[in-house]
Amino acid sequence: MNRKSYRLLLVNPWIVDFAAYDLWAKPLGLLRLAALLRQCGYAVELVDCLDRHHPLLDDWETDRPHERSDGSGKFIRQIIAKPQCLRPIPRHFCRYGLPLELVESYLQRLPQPDAILLTSMMTYWYPAVSEMAQILRRHFPHTPLVLGGIYATLCPEHARTTVRPDILIQGEGERQLPQLLHRLFGVSLVSVPDFAALPFPAYDLYSNLDAVAIETSRGCPFACSFCATHLLVPEFRRRAPQRVVDELFHWSETAGIQHAAFYDDALLVQPESSIKPILRLLIECESRLCLHLPNGIHPRQIDKELADLFFAAGVKTIRLSFESASPARQDDISHKVAPADLENALNVLERAGYERRQIGVYVLLGLPGQPPQEVRESCLLVRELGARVDAASFSPIPGTRSWNQAVKNREWDPTSDLLLSNNSIFPLWRNRYGYEFCREFWAWIKTLNREPANPDDRLFSGCRSTSTH
């Protein structure tokens, strides 16, 4: 068979969870693979179950969520049966993304591909990967199924047993591509470009594109205790600023995108040679894109010049990584941000033109050994500084220091079903304080964001005491 006649089907499955929201995310790894495969002469088809603008939805009227003007938005959801271990949670469990029947009918019409590449994201979303694998096998029983992505990389044995792919790949997909193509088709691919020279992700596979996710770098030089980035991407690498800007203009001109979200893990590392030149180039070219930074950025790196560049270049969404006001916690996490760093960052951002309440500050909740009082103190500090608390519930990820710590402290059973590590159900705190307490705490943060930070308010009563539990 001639190489050009091979057809590959690339699939991004649904999310199954109690909640999900689309913050401009795209399956970047899969889209880079698609671009590389096409460069090598393969035909590629994409099924992205999380595409909120998929033409399949044109006639779908049921429960279609309203679009937000900033390009983010809710997914369509279908309530599904709760897995046994999640039954005690008094919330709907849902499949988010393209409705199942639309995906089935679409696959029905596709000719049989020569191979299927299925990606995966959060480990506790594995039921969606498993369900998709079963559907794909039913439609294409003779086609080899390759599984990659975050879940496959972090929990390969679980994925082999549960999803039963023909081939499982771990780590960055493009690095595995030569061996994979050899295994699948017996063809040799001499080399794959380095990250910096990879082709642009194949966003042209989307019929209606209004936003792209973009990376200026991959990996992270830090090693925070709760984070799995170093397990997924061992080295920190970056792209030339001009190439990043070329990519943004390419999608703006060819697809008419209005929004771009930077999905770097460490966007502000060495800002003088990366983010600052990128923003200057965008300003010089009079870019009209709305830019978003949904991943937390490091407050210590934000000086007056960077804040001014953010504002002038059209950065609309800013989220700062703070995690905790506790010095001991900051030491433990190892990516230190002092309250003074946060205050300085908010000051320069405000002077640049942002309103403080526009800026989200990530505060971690439910880390190993973390008392609620510590989280309360952190939230109050953020509110006293005038910013919005973006609470991030901790999820124990196998292989991270925090996971080991939680197991050692007997706060986490390492044999637990991965479903129980879902951050929506507060894995460690639920075991310790109960689910109702966690929901009330979450509601307290929401109310806190709506209220002025007034220490006399009943919401704040007890918050300054040394312990509550």
Residue numbers at the binding site for ligand SF4 (CB under 6 A): 220, 222-224, 227, 229, 265-266, 335
C-beta closer to ligand SF4: residue 32 or 335: 335
Minimum distance of ligand SF4 from residue 264's CB (angstroms)? 9
C-beta closer to ligand SF4: residue 52 or 319: 319
C-beta closer to ligand SF4: residue 102 or 231: 231
C-beta closer to ligand SF4: residue 78 or 317: 317
Minimum distance of ligand SF4 from residue 415's CB (angstroms)? 26
Residue 85 CA to its chain's centroid (Å)? 25
C-beta closer to ligand SF4: residue 260 or 337: 337
Alpha-carbon torsion, ordered 176, 182, 183, 185, to 10 deg? 130
Tokens of 227: 């984070």
CA atoms within 13 A on the CB side of 18: 18
Minimum distance of ligand SF4 from residue 33's CB (angstroms)? 22
Residue with tokens 């393969």: 42
Residue 256: burial class (beta carbons within 10 Å; 0-12, 13-18, 19+): exposed
C-beta closer to ligand SF4: residue 223 or 443: 223
User: How many C-beta atoms surround the C-beta of residue 306 within 10 A?
Assistant: 22
C-beta closer to ligand SF4: residue 181 or 297: 297
Minimum distance of ligand SF4 from residue 270's CB (angstroms)? 14
Minimum distance of ligand SF4 from residue 216's CB (angstroms)? 14
Antiparallel, parallel or unpaired: β 211-214 and 167-168? unpaired
Minimum distance of ligand SF4 from residue 361's CB (angstroms)? 14
Minimum distance of ligand SF4 from residue 151's CB (angstroms)? 18
Residue 220 CA to its chain's centroid (Å)? 15
Minimum distance of ligand SF4 from residue 292's CB (angstroms)? 17
Minimum distance of ligand SF4 from residue 200's CB (angstroms)? 23
Minimum distance of ligand SF4 from residue 367's CB (angstroms)? 12
C-beta closer to ligand SF4: residue 51 or 264: 264
C-beta closer to ligand SF4: residue 268 or 382: 268
Minimum distance of ligand SF4 from residue 123's CB (angstroms)? 16
C-beta closer to ligand SF4: residue 26 or 335: 335
Helices 126-139 and 156-163, packing angle to 10 deg: 40
Q: Are the CB atoms for 119 and 33 separated by under 8 Å? A: no
C-beta closer to ligand SF4: residue 120 or 229: 229
